[in-house]
Amino acid sequence: MNKQKKSEQTKIAHQLSIVIPIYNEEENIAPLLSHIHDALENYLHPWELILIDDGSSDDTGKHIKSGIQDYGRHVRHINLQRNFGQTAAMQAGFDAARGDVIVTLDGDLQNDATDIPHLVKRLLEEDLDLVSGWRQSRQDYFLRRILSNAANLLIRNITKVRLHDYGCTLKAFRASIIKDVRLYGEMHRFIPAWMATQTTPARIKEEVVAHHPRQFGESKYGLSRTFRVLLDLLAVYFFLRYRAKPGHFFGKIGFIFAALGGLSLTYLLSVKIFLGEDIGTRPLLLIGVLFIVLAVQMITTGILSELISRNYYDTGDVKSYTIFNKEEVDSASAEDWKQPQIKEPA
């Protein structure tokens, strides 16, 4: 590490946990471990590397175990029972992390580990809770960049958390805050927004980071996830604004249906009373009744289902994943940290 990179480190004492969810990345494990250790060769503080194997069907697990033998027990392996998805894998890493600062990045070598010290430095010295990476020069195909930019604009306007790049996995978190956020479903895309439920958006900043083309393997995320993002965004919007008053959210929608249904039925009632016309066969009668039923459903079923879902994942003993090698993960000791090894200049 050169002098410029050294200067990007903070002198504030801390322990760093690096969390990387991995799925079918057997070709990337060895270069990933090498890259991270090179980037943190002269890191001034203890650190650990947590690799979460999200039920890979290739030899990813074998390569991780080989890496532990080569580098030491500060490289930790969490092997999930099956493929639970990136959000659950990331949550497993957060739960296992022991550091004061947690950094996440992808396992496909597109993120640059040399950005880690700078993100951590800014997090601690500016007393922030999250520093999110911004892939200003993103190395992906054109259509994916266009859709990503549109999604980022939509998310930014709805959540009011002003970041340019929600999809960048490279982030530095204050552990005491992110551990209070429970992730489930596919909510890893909205971690900054979920963080805003625990802290003020003023303590969430972004930093330009490097981004590299994928060299090995294939991307696990296609364009089909666009529709899932829209559904997840609705849930994020709900919990950001109406978590403590869910009836207001569904009440607004229910009120619209109730108003439309009420107006329709009132009109038909006036026609029946004052004009004496038959309304039993009119389609508007069925539509008015349907709107009233929808209003009741929105106000009752919607509120109950959303609250039950959130309450389920907020309970302390419920997790969105199952660890295969739980005993190995729980056996991590205080000695299993990569200690600073600063080389004296010749």
Contacts of residue 190, defined as CB under 8 A and 6 or more positions apart, other chains included, come to 155, 159, 166, 232, 233, 236
For the beta sheet containing 47-53, the strands, ordered from the edge strand earlier in sequence to the opposite edge, are 75-79, 47-53, 16-22, 101-104, 171-174, 130-134, 204-208
Q: What is the pLDDT of residues 42-75, one digit of tens each?
A: 999 999 999 999 999 999 999 999 999 999 999 9
The pTM for the full model equals 0.76
Task: Name the H helices within 271-282.
Answer: none
What is the reported pLDDT for 93? 95
Q: Mutual orientation of helices 246-270 and 283-314 as an angle, nearest 10°?
A: 170
Per-residue pLDDT at 222: 53
pLDDT score at 145 = 66
What percentage of residues in the chain have a pLDDT greater than 90? 43
pLDDT band at 1 (very low <50, low <70, confident <90, very high): very low
pLDDT number for residue 272: 86
Looking at residue 243, its pLDDT comes to: 67
Give 282's contacts (C-beta < 8 A, 6+ positions apart). Answer: 268
Least confident of 110-114, 208-212, 249-253, 288-292: 249-253
Query: Residue 194: is its pLDDT beyond 90?
Result: no
Question: At residue 303, what are phi and psi to the nearest 5 degrees?
Answer: -60, -50
Find out whether 105 and 18 touch, Cβ atoms under 8 Å: yes
Convert the pLDDT of each residue in 254-304 to its tens digit.
889 999 999 999 999 998 888 888 888 888 989 999 999 999 888 887 767
pLDDT greater than 80 at residue 195: yes
Q: How confident is the model at residue 315 (pLDDT cuts 50, 70, 90)?
A: low
Judge contact between 124 and 101, C-beta under 8 A. Answer: yes
pLDDT value for 317: 61
**pLDDT tens profile 130-166:** 999 988 877 666 666 676 777 777 777 777 788 888 8
Which residues, listed in sequence order, are joined to residue 52 by a DSSP beta bridge? 21, 78
- For the cut 80, the answer to whether the pLDDT of residue 18 exceeds it is yes
pLDDT at 2: 44
CA 99 to chain centre: 19
Calculate helix-pair angle for 283-314, 225-242, nearest 10 degrees: 80
Query: In terms of pLDDT, which residue wins out, 315 or 340?
Result: 340
Residue 100: phi and psi, rounded to 5, are -75, -25
Question: Are 63 and 32 within 8 A, CB to CB?
Answer: no
Banded model confidence at residue 8, pLDDT cuts 50, 70, 90: confident
The Cα-based distances of 58 to 27, 55, 83, 217, 328 in angstroms read: 10, 9, 12, 11, 21
Note whether 172 and 102 are within 8 A (CB). yes
Higher pLDDT, 320 or 173: 173
More confident residue, 218 or 316: 218
Q: Find out whether 155 and 192 touch, Cβ atoms under 8 Å.
A: no
| Bigger pLDDT: 304 vs 346 | 304
CA angle 27, 76, 102 (to 5 degrees): 100
Q: Any idea how long the chain is? A: 346
Average pLDDT, the chain: 84
Pull the structure tokens for residue 13.
């004492």
Segment (H or E) for 101: strand 101-104
